[in-house]
């Protein structure tokens, strides 16, 4: 269908307007319109593009997410190598560097720009005629990996640059850092812990792991941010200084860290460093020092590089954040899979502004390796500015009173036997009814990406388990209002809401249920792959080891874990009890439908259907209708007068459909 000229003009105007507001909101943190106004613009564009697909351009604001998963990352050679930085650790070393710079420049005046050193993952972003075309990781400095589709999901990254004096550079390759804010990192790790997934050691690893995902949908669900600070190549634009570079990149709409300073001498440089160190804790991002750069690019050219690092810049690192304290006790925590984790309880100590009073020791081998005993003096560090860990013990300070730690042979929560399986580092409580295990299992089952039972938070789970109302997951479906009312602080209204949510969770899809059961090693991705191959829990339970390992992405470890799970009598009874409660999802028949495995949320009033009808349409096509917008949601359908959910969807980058688009998608 030919696109009428006025439609094309309107689409372009909408894109320009949306880009401007994205920049105001995500980069400058200074929105000019309400979220509802923004949503109207966005929806109008989505509707136009749905009607005239040839209107869609890769740099349209609607195209951030949704690229298909890749098989592998394509290598991208860096036309200009991505260098690393030389380091220094004190004012004396900094002075030596400054002396050398001045000497090499024949004593002419030198200005420096200071910036925080971000602890993330460096990337190179290529813009051709103002359009974002390729984004790559640093790799070995000469060749990186093509992560374009993943980078597009970062809302701060402009897909198109703003013109400067009416033009955009022909070619601009900017470099910067993809990072995760400290608060977002903690939240992500909490969620991963709840799901039984390995936690990231620090925000840097979290950023790297999130960006290097073959499936851009996973990257989109991670709260990544970006700051740019360098230009690799530029054509059609002249930049002479770092100061001008930072101002120009910001004017083009790129996110530039506002915390930088042009310094006329070393005293100013040192003052910037001290100031950064003082504010380090309060900054939203992790930083391990500052970078000092010669401001004048012509001077940089003359200074050149040595050993793959420029002479014109240096990283002035913060002192290691370590402190010495004593181990009061080594406690043992019980996880969902029964894994027992030793945790050191410490005399509270401040490590770079934060009080640390506990540190995980992971498992018995780790305790041995670090030789940590109860009563020991130990060195603690906050890895990557966030998670506390014990670096080593100080045996020279022992008095002889210290006690070696031994993993208990009984579970500290239920007193049942704790066993260490061959080939495993962890000890596990073997008792499936252990209250600590039940608590963790129910928390996991109720979590957002599992059964998503809203209102069933950690505290409430603890109370339900402690009250003996929930002894296994399926007991959730036997709860009655009277039971809930006996639980401390639960009123009639919240009891009713919770029961509604529990009822709603019966519509759980097969992949989610597989994940929600908390089978060790079965994460979301494995659950999806298994649900594509096996149409029901019963089919999976009957699968042979060969059939299981025949599924792409399922190795012998996962296969053995699944076999062990279904081989267990207690677990088989749990599955039966769930089926009796009406939970026995099938993937059959709906596996190829447009909404198979998709989660849809409705907001606003629909004109052609009631909410219930719309929900049934979704379910009939193999999808699930959820009531709240979270990262697990695939589409939000917005009817007339949509509510808060639309804002949330936009924040999370979830595609929003109009009622017409929903009808087109479902064929109704």
Q: Which residues are catalytic?
A: 117
Q: Measured between alpha carbons, how far is 368 from 231 in angstroms, rounded to an integer?
A: 48
Q: Measured between alpha carbons, how far is 586 from 91 in angstroms, rounded to an integer?
A: 66
**Nearest distance from residue 297's CB to ligand IVH, in Å?**
12
**Nearest distance from residue 148's CB to ligand IVH, in Å?**
19
Nearer to ligand IVH, 286 or 361 (CB): 286
**Nearest distance from residue 257's CB to ligand IVH, in Å?**
7
Q: Which residues contact 368 (CB under 8 A, 6 or more apart)?
A: none
Strand 387-393 with 377-383, pairing = antiparallel
Nearer to ligand IVH, 137 or 363 (CB): 137
Q: Measured between alpha carbons, how far is 601 from 633 in angstroms, rounded to an integer?
A: 7
Nearer to ligand IVH, 145 or 177 (CB): 177
Nearer to ligand IVH, 245 or 476 (CB): 245
Q: Name the residue whose CB lies closest to ligand IVH.
A: 122
**Nearest distance from residue 83's CB to ligand IVH, in Å?**
4
Nearer to ligand IVH, 52 or 318 (CB): 318
Other beta carbons less than 10 A from residue 668's beta carbon: 12
Specify the 3-state DSSP secondary structure of 123: strand
Specify the 3-state DSSP secondary structure of 504: helix
- Tokens encoding 132: 């974002």
Specify the 3-state DSSP secondary structure of 356: strand
Q: Which residues contact 215 (CB under 8 A, 6 or more apart)?
A: 69, 70
Element (H, E) at 463: helix 458-466
Nearer to ligand IVH, 260 or 662 (CB): 260
Residues that bind ligand IVH (CB under 6 A): 83-85, 115, 117-118, 122, 177, 229-230, 291, 310, 313, 315
**Nearest distance from residue 230's CB to ligand IVH, in Å?**
5
Nearer to ligand IVH, 132 or 229 (CB): 229
Nearer to ligand IVH, 177 or 440 (CB): 177
- Tokens encoding 360: 């995980």
**Nearest distance from residue 596's CB to ligand IVH, in Å?**
41
Buried-exposed string 561-576: b where 16+ CB fall within 10 A, e elsewhere: bbeebbeeeebeebbe
369 in Cβ contact with 360 (< 8 Å):
no
Q: Measured between alpha carbons, how far is 283 from 302 in angstroms, rounded to an integer?
A: 35
**Nearest distance from residue 282's CB to ligand IVH, in Å?**
18
**Nearest distance from residue 252's CB to ligand IVH, in Å?**
18
127 in Cβ contact with 174 (< 8 Å):
yes
Q: Measured between alpha carbons, how far is 488 from 495 in angstroms, rounded to an integer?
A: 11
Q: Measured between alpha carbons, how far is 284 from 270 in angstroms, rounded to an integer?
A: 22
The count of C-alpha atoms lying within 13 angstroms of the C-alpha of 468, restricted to the half-sphere facing its C-beta, is 0
256 in Cβ contact with 229 (< 8 Å):
yes
Sheet holding 224-235, edge to edge: 131-137, 121-128, 171-180, 224-235
């Amino acid at each position: 269908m030919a696109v009428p000229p006025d439609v094309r003009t309107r689409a372009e105007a909408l894109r320009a307007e949306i880009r401007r507001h994205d920049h105001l909101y995500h980069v400058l943190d200074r929105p000019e319109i309400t979220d509802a106004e923004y949503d109207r613009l966005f929806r109008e564009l989505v509707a136009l593009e749905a009607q005239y697909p040839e209107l869609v351009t890769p740099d349209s604001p609607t195209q951030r997410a949704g690229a298909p998963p890749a098989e592998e990352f394509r290598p991208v050679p860096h036309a200009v190598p991505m260098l690393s930085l030389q380091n220094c650790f004190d004012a004396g070393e900094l002075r030596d560097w400054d002396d050398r710079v001045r000497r090499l420049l024949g004593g002419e005046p030198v200005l420096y720009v200071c910036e925080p050193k971000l602890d993330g993952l460096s990337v190179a972003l290529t813009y051709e005629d103002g359009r974002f075309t390729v984004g790559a990781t640093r790799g070995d400095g000469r060749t990186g990996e093509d992560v374009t589709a993943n980078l597009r999901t970062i809302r701060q990254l402009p897909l198109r640059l703003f013109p400067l004096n009416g033009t955009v550079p022909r070619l601009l390759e900017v470099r910067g850092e993809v990072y995760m804010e400290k608060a977002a990192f903690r939240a992500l790790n909490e969620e991963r812990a709840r799901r039984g997934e390995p936690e990231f050691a620090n925000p840097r690893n979290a950023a790297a792991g999130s960006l290097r995902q073959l499936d851009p949908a996973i990257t989109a669900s991670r709260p990544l941010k970006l700051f740019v600070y360098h230009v690799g190549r530029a054509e059609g634009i002249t930049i002479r200084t770092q100061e001008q570079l930072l101002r120009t990149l910001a004017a083009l709409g790129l996110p530039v860290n506002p915390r930088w300073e042009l310094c006329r001498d070393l005293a100013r440089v040192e003052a910037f460093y001290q100031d950064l160190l003082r504010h380090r804790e309060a900054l939203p991002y992790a930083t391990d020092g500052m970078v000092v750069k010669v401001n004048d690019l012509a001077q940089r050219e003359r200074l050149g590089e040595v050993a793959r690092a420029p002479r014109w810049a240096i990283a002035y690192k913060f002192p290691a954040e370590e402190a010495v304290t004593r181990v009061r006790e080594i406690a043992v925590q019980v996880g969902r899979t029964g894994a027992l984790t030793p945790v050191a309880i410490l005399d509270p100590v401040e490590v770079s502004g934060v009080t640390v009073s506990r540190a995980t020791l992971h498992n018995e081998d780790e305790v041995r390796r670090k030789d940590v005993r109860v009563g020991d003096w130990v060195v603690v560090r906050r890895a990557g500015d966030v998670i506390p860990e014990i670096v080593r013990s100080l045996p020279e300070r022992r008095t002889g009173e210290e006690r070696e730690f031994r993993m208990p042979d009984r579970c500290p929560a239920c007193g049942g036997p704790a066993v260490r399986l061959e080939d495993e580092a962890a000890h596990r409580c073997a008792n499936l009814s252990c209250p600590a295990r039940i608590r963790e299992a129910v928390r996991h089952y109720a979590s957002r990406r599992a059964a998503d039972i809203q209102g069933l938070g950690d505290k409430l789970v603890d109370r339900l388990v402690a009250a003996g109302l929930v002894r296994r997951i399926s007991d959730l479906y036997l709860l009655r209002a009277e039971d809930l009312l006996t639980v401390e602080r639960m009123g009639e209204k919240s009891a009713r809401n919770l029961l509604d949510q529990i009822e709603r969770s019966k519509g759980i899809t097969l992949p989610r249920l597989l994940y929600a059961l908390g089978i060790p090693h079965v994460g979301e991705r494995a659950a999806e792959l298994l649900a594509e191959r096996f149409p029901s829990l019963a089919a999976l339970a009957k699968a042979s080891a060969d059939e299981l390992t025949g599924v792409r992405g399922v190795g012998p470890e996962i296969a053995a874990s699944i076999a062990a799970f279904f081989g267990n009598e207690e677990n088989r009874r749990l599955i039966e009890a769930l089926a009796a409660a009406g939970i026995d999802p099938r993937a059959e028949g709906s596996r190829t439908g447009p909404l198979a495995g998709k989660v849809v949320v409705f907001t606003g009033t629909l004109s052609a259907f009631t909410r219930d009808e719309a929900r049934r349409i979704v379910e009939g096509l193999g999808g699930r209708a959820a009531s709240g917008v979270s990262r697990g949601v695939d589409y939000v359908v917005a009817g007339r007068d949509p509510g808060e959910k639309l804002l949330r969807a936009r924040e999370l980058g979830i595609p929003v459909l109009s009622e017409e688009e929903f009808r087109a998608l479902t064929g109704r």
